[in-house]
Amino acid sequence: MSVGAFVCVGLASNGMTLAMNGLPHGPRTVPPVADDSVPRPRLLDRLDAGRETPLTLVAAPAGAGKTTLVAAWVRDGRPVGSVAWISLEGEGHGVDDLWALVAQALNGPRPRPRQRVDSSRGHIVNQLEGESEPVTLVFDDFQELGGAAAVADLEALLERTPSALRIVLISRRDPPLRLGRLRLAGRLTEIRGHDLAFTREETARLLSGGRFSLAQRDVDALWERTEGWVAGLRLAELTLRDHPRPPDFLRDFSGADGSVADYMLVEVLDQLPPRLRSFVLRTSLVDAVNGDLADALTDATGGAATLRRLTRDNAFLTPVEGTTGWFRYHPLLRDLLRVELRYERGHELGGLHRRAAEWLAKRGHTLPALRHAIRARAWDVGARVLARDWVELLTSGEIAAVRDLVDELEAESAAALPELTLACAAAAVEEADGAAAASLLRRAAEREAELPDARRADYRLALEALVLRHRLQHGDERFTLPDPPGAGGRPSTGRPDLEGLVQAERGLTGMWRGDRPSAVGALVAAVGAGESAGRPEIVALATAHLAQIDLHEGFVARAADRVAEALDDLERAGSTRTRVATALYATRGAIALLRNDLDLVQASVEKALASLVRLSGDGVFECERPTRTLLIPLRVRLLAAQGRLDAALGVLRFELDRDRPSLDANAQRSLEADEAMLLYALGERDTALARLEGRLADSPTAEVALALGRLRLAAGEHGEALRLAAVAGEPADAPGPLWTRIGALALRALACDGLADHEAAVDALERALDLAEPAGVLRPFVELGSGLQPLLVRRVQRGTAHRTLVDQIADQLDPSASAARAAASNGLPEPLSERELMVLRYLPTLMSNADIGHEIFISVNTVKSHLRQIYRKLDVTTRREAVERARRLHLLGPGRSAA
């Protein structure tokens, strides 16, 4: 057998054909690979790696591209030695068929007349053991191999695999081999359906060669719809070639599309026995199914075992990530199954939807229970679920998404409970639909009289929470509801979730009114109630606004701790598209801006906007005012820091004009100061100075005084800058936020330096560093520009307790210094990454690993991982040694090592 020859055997239904690829004997039977196929080096490399194990299994559903992948691997000449391709297409191949095909593949295309080919496994093993060249046997359609004897023979071969032999099995389902044993022994290479699925990039390459052009959003939509299933993408691509409007086709593309439906029917659904076909049709009704729900839908038992079997058989059923025992059908197959369910069992649909609704409602799956109740027209089930669970929908950000369902339930339900009206009001409030919310809230208040005394306390509490939120959204403090008949002392409620919700809204109202003690008390109570109710969304909402209060009052480190903890809770709860997430990401962005971490600011702003449940008609985001007063300047200052001054000014003016009536005086003055700074940077200096002087005369806030002081300093007016620094540091009404006090001291330092009062300058700078160090605040120093550099050098020469912070400020003011440290790192055998350099800067301090993680918003485990890499790259074993070595390499400035 010559090295590199591809020996190919095909078994068709009308008999056996044999050909030697590359020799003049018959047709080529290695399946052809289309010239326009998308290269998949990541998977070809996986097949190459399989040369190190006796068995490679390529197992995936129909149309996943299994055969095409292995054929491309063979076509490219990547296997070492000879390759025998054996197709088992058809049914019922037994042990004799199996080894006859292998024997003929190994002994040439046709035996001479009267020549007997020994096709026993033992003879073949002996023959292979005598081979000096590698041999790869590829079995295609292995699922068609029938009989336990054939499987047992193959397993025996795998137990005693000749060193020259490699076996590749291509199968739609897992073969009945002891795969777990092979896996543990390191004798198995696997390529599964999720590996074969096209990535976004591969999908884009597939579609880029057509006679049509698609926007990236259309490519992404098709990829998400098909989940990278190769046959689905190919069928869509073929249709797109001749479609007059590709975007319209993609919008309606589903598993019921003609070409996809035909393929799925033939290759999947028609392959199932009748009982299994009935099972998949009925269980396709729900988006996700477990064994117990499957039993309820099929009125049978054994659902869990059937689901596991379908998963093993790669029947387009996959486990739901993050769950145990839950499964889902591929979206395209689910589309087809639901069409077939309506066609074959339409008379059962109403009853199936009711069964699903009742099962899901009983187990607390509120949203899917509602959807099935409405499809079943089971108004009694839907109304009962919604009246019970609307608070959960509200706090998880889902009630606005099901507003149509809520409205339909109330309109159709004969048992239209007052709580159902309250849920409709909650949906309108969540959507910031002011007119509808006001009307529904009044109607809900009127219906309170219908309630028995036992339900009134909870009802009134929920109504108060919704009214408070409605007022905050629209700035309408005058909006009130009449007191209910006989209102007086309110009995305690048995609903801690409602207590938490109303306390959170009271806290937000207190924040907006500037009543800090009231706000903090209510928010702390909301945290306690949310924890008692087991509602992480309520806890996170209250925590987010406690963090905003901390941030304003200068407790930046505590705010960062609160945000990190709340985001962890929220992400675990899967509630990252809510107003709570918006508040948390906005707060995280504000902290990152103070630390001048612009990458994290950018990511936080993007996540804050992406987490919004709803955008208003003009594309403006809707969220609580305390969050809006963080998010608006955050977007403006990020654009300015990126040098996009015109864009920053445009965003600021748009938001200021839109929100001016609902912004408090301090928020307005802060944005107006930003506007003046942008005008000054854009060359409109006289206008900027005039506006700030006017605002300062009207209302001497710290932000306005600080902005004007910086502009006077830039103009060389050091005496006036010093006067304004005093105003910014000691405003007439109340102490400014931490960052303005730091900024005022830094401004004082530069002004004194300009007036040749160098002692006062270095003293003011050290006081600014004293305030900034605990919170890691850098931005007020960076905003003063490179003129601060000489003063920093003198402060270091005089001695400072904040050497690491000074190094960080110097790096921000002079990027070349940071680049020099990166270059020094590159002198190592393996350079430190940017994040490792960031962690390294904290090592001379006494901060713990947890403290470092909180500073830069990473987990303590990630810090430990970075430390291991730092120690390895610096060739040290302790923190002290790492600091000393880093100083010698000029990765850190000179100073004392960490204790």
Neighbours of 201 (CB within 10 A): 11
pLDDT of 695: 83
User: CA 857, CA 591: separation in Å to the nearest integer?
Assistant: 10
**Going by C-beta distance under 8 Å and a sequence separation of 6 or more, which residues neighbour residue 362?**
none
User: CA 789, CA 77: separation in Å to the nearest integer?
Assistant: 62
Taking CA atoms, 458 is separated from 454, 480, 594, 778, 850, in Å, by 9, 18, 42, 47, 41
pLDDT of 612: 65
Taking CA atoms, 136 is separated from 51, 172, 400, 466, in Å, by 9, 20, 58, 69
pLDDT of 107: 65
Q: How many CA atoms lie within 13 A of 700 on its CB side?
A: 15
pLDDT of 420: 80
User: CA 760, CA 751: separation in Å to the nearest integer?
Assistant: 10
- Model pTM score: 0.62
pLDDT of 507: 92
User: CA 395, CA 502: separation in Å to the nearest integer?
Assistant: 11
pLDDT of 283: 95
Residue 504 is encoded by which pair of tokens?
């959170």
Nearest to 356 by CA among 340, 368, 347, 342: 368
DSSP 514: T
Q: Which string of DSSP letters, residue by residue, matches 398-417?
A: -TTTTHHHHHHHHHH-TT--
DSSP H helical segments within 137-229, as ranges?
Answer: 148-159, 179-184, 193-196, 200-208, 216-226
pLDDT of 566: 86
What is the C-alpha end-to-end distance of the chain, expressed in Å?
70
pLDDT of 21: 36
Amino acid at 598: L
User: CA 850, CA 853: separation in Å to the nearest integer?
Assistant: 5
pLDDT of 519: 93
Q: Which residues of the chain have pLDDT under 50?
A: 1-28, 109-117, 487-489, 613-621, 731-734, 896-899
User: CA 660, CA 667: separation in Å to the nearest integer?
Assistant: 9
Strands 15-21 and 6-12: antiparallel
pLDDT of 6: 33
Q: In which element (H, E) is residue 85 found?
A: strand 82-87
Taking CA atoms, 665 is separated from 222, 508, 672, in Å, by 48, 17, 10
Angle at 810 between CA 774 and CA 552, to 5 degrees: 35
Q: Decide: 714 and 784 in contact? Cβ < 8 Å.
A: no
pLDDT of 337: 92
CA-atom Rg of the chain in angstroms: 35
User: CA 879, CA 897: separation in Å to the nearest integer?
Assistant: 9
